[in-house]
Chain A
Amino acid sequence: MPGSPLVSRRLWISVLIVPPLAFVALFVVYPIISAFAYAFFHWNGLARGEFVGFANFYKVLFTQPYADWTVNAFLHNVWVFFALMVLQNGLGFLLAYCLWRELPGAAFHRISVFLPVVLSTIIVGFLWKLFLHPLFGVVNISFRGLGLGGLAQPWLGQESTALWSLIIANAWHMVGFPTLVFLAGMQRIPGEILDAVRMETESEWTKITKIVWPLVAPSATVVFTLLFVGSFNWFEIPYVMVGLEGSPHGATDVLGLYFYRTAFGNMSGSGQDFGAGSALAVLIFVFIALVAGVITFKLRAREIQI
């Protein structure tokens, strides 16, 4: 190598650091900055037109029919987040607590709860779409077989059950993730603390609420934040199970589908609008970043260092 050791060392560090840095700059940072910039322009198909200020934001937030669509989709995302908070994270905590006891078979249960997590969302979506088919799906066949034919419904075809069906499919798919993150958190609780608790109280409930829950706070921070980001990015499950329009009648429309339709057009290929789409992306992005930041900050504050 030429020059002094110091120069060659600098050169070597540059050789290591520049390619990855350039890559992230071009394919992460630049697109994200552009996403903000694009929202302020008018777009003719793929061609950028003139600067229009906040017109695209005004369009998606305050003019009809966009305003109604935006609110409708947003509220569904909020609903999905809270439902999954209970079904996915709540159940995950319970299952983690059960697995933590290391009873016989725990290793097998741990592997099986995580199995759906490794499957593609597309496979999970199609699988549940077939299971929920009104005539031939295994869910309705089972209800009829048990003499509960009255409970058999067109799950994905009616407004009252469609969104719930998607939420349950998602919970089945992902419940293993919070389970194992919580389990790892519980396994880090020192044995002395647990022994001390057993001397003090008989109540399992006190043990969970006063000891385990506060001590797995770091796991909760991560799991809650990831669920929040995931809920407001929700796309694949609804896309596969109910289609781009969020059928029936927008009952399952969420921001991910709505953004896709606005930016790239619907199934008939009409209505492509990169301006309005970019404005939506920026709004969703800022919302996610702000709330995820607040969630992380608030939850970090209650974490206890063991």
Chain B
Amino acid sequence: MSAASQSYYDRRGMLATLGKDGLIQIILILNTVVMLAPIVIMLFAAFKTNAQIFQSPFGLPDFSNFANITKIWSQTNFLRYLLNSVIVTGASIVVILTLGTMAAYAVGRYKFRGSSFVLMFFLAGLTLPLKLAIIPLFILMRDLGILNTQLSLIVIYVAMGLPTTVFIMTGFIATLPNELEDAARMDGASEPRIMWSIMLPLVRPAMVIAGIQNVVPIWNDFFFPLIFIQKDNLKTLPQGLTTFMGEYTTDWGVLFAGLLLSSAPVIIVYIILSRQFINGMTAGAVK
């Protein structure tokens, strides 16, 4: 790297390079301002009164003014929505990783007739937008009697998440070395034992990637709750947000506080685990 950049500077001359790097820095800084400003304005507005928001939208607020946030805490169903989102997302991820790892392990570790067909079967779901099958899904959920329950959401998220998970996990599992497995088999270990005690611990990094790739779209989904869930007590966070935004239309401080509280969990986790988030969410697109 240093040798390459050295010869680069020699050829180009310091001034031209500095000018170009300066331009690049300006573009990046401008872009970061555009990316972060809306989030900072939202953060500030969550601590302001209506008058403060309208008169000085960019001004620093009094961060000890929790009036808006208290209002959300005490007067809305926010905590219930948050809990519902945690339950639905958590359950979906557990089931996706369990079923996804099972399928990927079978396809990636064993040679058997029809294994490529099985993989194709899963991958077919990769590009198909399940949203467009919402009418049959609605009728299916009704026939199964799980419309208006959290189970309907968990089921649909698992269906949505399995294809990419199988895709990512199969690629990873197929590259694991055979030696450990063969040694265990020589010692007479059963296949389930080999999978559970020897191979699964090695698969954990891929599980993290697959988990992150699924957790963000599921946590953020709005479309399926909109169709499947009517009861206010079962609504997830994005869906509950639409209910609540409709009720407080004139109280802008409370609206911004609601947006802030809904986005805070994801933003905080993202800041802590940004590298894993970026790797996970682009995993399907980057080979």
A-side residues, CB < 8 A to B, are 1, 8-10, 12-13, 16-17, 19-21, 23-24, 26-32, 34-35, 38, 46, 94-95, 98-99, 101, 103, 105-106, 108-123, 126-128, 130-131, 136, 138, 141-142, 172, 176-177, 180-181, 184-185, 191, 194-195, 198, 202, 204, 218-219, 222-223, 225-226, 229, 233, 235-236, 239-240, 256, 259, 263-264, 274, 277-278, 281, 284-285, 288-289, 292
Taking A27-B156, A95-B31, A103-B25 as contacts, is the C-beta distance between A21 and B222 under 8 angstroms?
Answer: no
Separation of A35 and B137 alpha carbons in the complex (Å): 9
Q: Smallest Cβ distance from A84 to chain B, in angstroms? A: 16
Partner of B135, one of A24, A114, A277: A277
Residues of B within 8 A of A191 (CB): 1, 4
A8: chain B residues within 8 A (beta carbon): 191
A116: chain B residues within 8 A (beta carbon): 35, 38-39
Alpha-carbon distance A38/B124, docked complex (angstroms): 21
Q: Which of B141-165 contact A (CB under 8 A)?
A: 142, 155-156, 158-159, 162-163
- Whether A35 contacts B191 by the Cβ 8 Å rule is no
Query: Do A108 and B32 have beta carbons less than 8 Å apart?
Result: yes
| Chain B residues with CB under 8 A of A281 | 132-135
**A202:B12 contact, CB within 8 angstroms:** yes
- Residues in A with CB closer than 8 Å to B285 are 177, 181, 219, 222-223, 226
| Alpha-carbon gap, A198 to B122, bound state (A) | 45
Q: Which residues of B contact A (CB under 8 A)?
A: 1, 4, 7-8, 11-12, 20-21, 24-25, 27-29, 31-32, 34-36, 38-39, 41-42, 53-54, 57-58, 99-100, 102-103, 105-107, 110, 112, 118, 121-122, 124-125, 127-137, 139-140, 142, 155-156, 158-159, 162-163, 166, 190-192, 216, 219-220, 222-223, 227, 237-239, 241-242, 245, 252, 255-256, 259, 262-263, 266-267, 270-271, 274, 277-278, 281-282, 285-287
Whether A16 touches B103, Cβ cut-off 8 Å, given contacts A46-B142, A115-B270, is yes
A28 lies within 8 A of B125 (CB) = yes
Report the nearest A residue to B223, measured CB to CB: A235
**B57 touches which of A16, A119, A138 (Cβ 8 Å):** A138
Shortest beta-carbon distance from A168 to chain B in Å: 10
Q: Which 4 A-B pairs have the closest CB atoms?
A: A34-B136, A120-B220, A27-B159, A20-B103
CA distance A261 to B118 in the complex (A): 37
Check A120/B263 contact, CB under 8 A, given A114-B274, A136-B252.
yes
User: For B7, B28, B262, B263, which residue has the most chain A Cβ atoms within 10 angstroms?
Assistant: B28
A46-B135 Cα distance, complex, nearest whole Å: 10
- Chain B residues with Cβ below 8 Å from A136 are 53-54, 252
Q: Which residues of B contact A138 (CB under 8 A)?
A: 41, 57-58
Find out whether the CB atom of B222 lies under 8 angstroms from the CB atom of A120: yes
Shortest C-beta distance, A41 to chain B (Å), equals 11
Partner of B136, one of A13, A30, A103: A30
Interface centre among B130, B192, B259, by most A CB within 10 Å?
B259
CB distance B129 to A112 under 8 Å?
Answer: no
A46 to B271, CA, bound (A): 46
Chain A nearest CB: distance from B120 CB in Å? 11
Q: A27-B137, A126-B255, A131-B41 are in contact. List 6 more A-B contacts (CB 8 A).
A: A17-B118, A27-B140, A120-B241, A130-B256, A184-B282, A285-B129
Q: How far is the CA of A128 from the CA of B259 in the complex (A)?
A: 11
Known: A115-B270, A120-B262, A172-B35. A28 touches B130 (CB 8 A): yes
Can you name the residue of chain A whose Cβ is closest to the Cβ of B286? A184
Q: Which residues of B contact A27 (CB under 8 A)?
A: 137, 140, 155-156, 158-159
Select one of A9, A19, A30, A112 contacting B99, CB under 8 A.
A19
Q: Can you list 15 contacts pairing A with B, beta carbon distance less than 8 Å?
A: A17-B106, A20-B99, A24-B162, A26-B140, A29-B125, A34-B140, A109-B31, A114-B277, A118-B266, A120-B262, A127-B38, A184-B282, A222-B286, A236-B223, A278-B135
Contact (Cβ within 8 A) A20 B100 = yes
Q: How far is the CB of B177 from chain A (nearest CB, A)?
A: 20
A53–B53 alpha-carbon span in the complex (Å): 57
Q: A113-B32, A195-B7, A198-B11 are in contact. Are A16 and B106 (CB under 8 A)?
A: yes
Evaluate contact between A123 and B238: CB separation under 8 angstroms.
Answer: yes
**Measured CA separation A180–B285 after assembly (Å):** 10
In the complex, what's the smallest C-beta–C-beta distance from A248 to chain B, in angstroms? Answer: 19
